[in-house]
Structure 1
């Protein structure tokens, strides 16, 4: 058996990150099956109410995960990120899906030895993930990748995830705003 590649490790750390955030927020998180993966979905998060001002008592969210060691590039108040795979981009921008979808990007340190550290007091996964909804984004004119803009204020953390799920419980679907400089 071969060891995991660096890219495989980055991917596994992105799963660990969203599982930890969802659990901390009191939500369920499961890895998507192979059919969902073919549709650009890596995980599904489920939250249960009551939600602040919510109408629904159970909300689902589908997630496409990405991890990168490339330092985020700031473009105004957003990070620019090159999303490889136009079919994945099209899946995420669709307005014809019942369950909302978001892209979550984990920005890891450039040096692998800095990704995870532990002591008797803590297990630390370094850096932060951010989310963006591409719902309603314009079609891409590119053949292989599309630059997307992820708001710097949309941290994928327990508070941000809780607020997102609360808004979904009120039928407030996030959509892509872009922010090209």
Structure 2
């Protein structure tokens, strides 16, 4: 969950907003397409992310290098996470029935244009502050 605290002195700015995030990680380069990541997500998780809730939910897929030792670099000066993260809201996606098969999955197409940057997270949180949803 990502939380934003507003200024309690401003009437038109909510004091508190929250965004629920499901973070997934992949090093599978074959999932990266021209304009999206074709991420296989468990149907239960997919349907959970679709639900209408007070705090919106989004899926974030983190693309990382194949070698785990290359995922994260940490020093006194910086923390570097490789490569990129992309987000997607499933609120308008259709429901997918569960047939009873264990670990049944559906492919979610996460647009590469939805790169999760600091600026993008701020934009999403500002939408929430205005009563809008991503």
Fold match by TM threshold 0.5: yes
Task: Render the CA deviation track for 1:73-101: whole Å, top value 9, x for unaligned.
Answer: 225x3222111x21111100112x11100
Structure 2 regions of 5+ residues with no counterpart?
Answer: none
Q: Using the TM superposition, give the Cα deviation of residue 116 of structure 1 relative to its aligned residue in structure 2, in angstroms.
A: 2.0
Q: Does 1:79 align with 2:37?
A: yes
Hey, what's the Cα distance between the residues in 2 that align with 1:141 and 1:46?
32
1-structure distance, mates of 2:77, 2:56: 37
SS at match of 2:49: helix
TM-score, reference length from structure 1? 0.61
Alignment partner of 1:166 is 2:126: yes
Q: Deviations over 1:15-43 (max 9, x none)?
A: xxxxxxxxxxxxxxxxxxxxxxxxxxxxx
Deviation at 1:109, TM superposition (A): 0.4
**Cα distance, 1:69 vs. partner?**
1.1
> RMSD of the TM alignment (CA)?
2.1
Partner of 1:62 in structure 2? 20
SS in 1 for 2:120: helix
Equivalent residue pairs, number = 125
Question: Is the partner of 2:86 in helix, strand or coil?
Answer: strand
Q: Please, what TM-score do these two structures have when normalized by structure 2?
A: 0.81
Q: Given the superposition, is the C-alpha separation of residues 155 and 90 from structure 1 closer, same or farther in structure 2, using an over 3 Å criterion?
A: same
Distance in 2 (alpha carbons) for counterparts of 1:64 and 1:82? 14
* Structure of higher RCO (CA pairs closer than 8 Å, 6+ residues apart): 2
